[in-house]
């Protein structure tokens, strides 16, 4: 049997839960409002000046082309990352095609069998080689 006291307790719990949820909703609304204001500010900044040409006022910048810039009288040139030379390419002058292919296969197998692979991703494999493994006979 449910008493009037039980109903009052349940109603008070529901009021507290509603009040707590209302406070959470208010906090979320305030957070969304602040984020929207920040987003409008960022969009306004982006529309004013292109990002790649925006510099602090204390710098004197002159763009010569897409690879060369002068900042406060000092010339800077963009350096392209060079693709690392392959072992196959390193053997180019001294060996013919089949010899290079064989040497590369031997070295690749040796690296896998006798070294420790530290990291590996789609573009790189990092090996640890003991110094004694690099020594050549005298």
Please report, for the chain, the start and end positions of each structural domain, with discontinuous segments joined by +. 4-48, 52-79, 87-134
Predicted local confidence at residue 4, as pLDDT: 85
Tokens in use for 79? 């350096």
Segment 44-98, tens digit of pLDDT: 766 555 545 554 567 788 877 777 888 888 888 877 766 667 777 778 778 888 8
Average pLDDT, the chain: 80
Give how far the C-alpha of residue 123 lies from the chain's centroid of Cα atoms, to the nearest Å.
15
**Contact (Cβ atoms closer than 8 angstroms) between residue 72 and residue 60:** yes
Answer whether 0.85 is exceeded by the pTM: no
Q: How far apart, in whole angstroms, are the C-alpha atoms of residue 96 and residue 78?
A: 37
SS3 state of residue 68: strand
Tokens in use for 123? 């573009």
């Amino acid at each position: 049997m449910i008493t009037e006291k039980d109903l009052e307790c349940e109603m008070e719990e529901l009021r507290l839960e509603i009040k707590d949820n209302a406070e959470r909703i208010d906090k979320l609304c305030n957070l969304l409002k602040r984020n929207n204001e920040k987003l409008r500010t960022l969009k306004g900044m982006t529309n004013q000046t292109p990002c790649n040409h925006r510099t602090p006022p204390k710098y004197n910048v002159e763009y010569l082309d897409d690879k060369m810039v002068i900042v406060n009288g000092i010339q800077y040139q963009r350096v392209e990352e060079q693709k690392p030379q392959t072992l196959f390419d390193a053997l180019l002058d001294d060996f013919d095609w089949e010899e290079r292919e064989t040497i590369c296969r031997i070295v690749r197998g040796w690296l896998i069998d006798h070294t420790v692979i530290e990291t590996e991703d789609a573009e790189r494999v990092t090996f640890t080689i003991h110094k004694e493994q690099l020594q050549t006979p005298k």
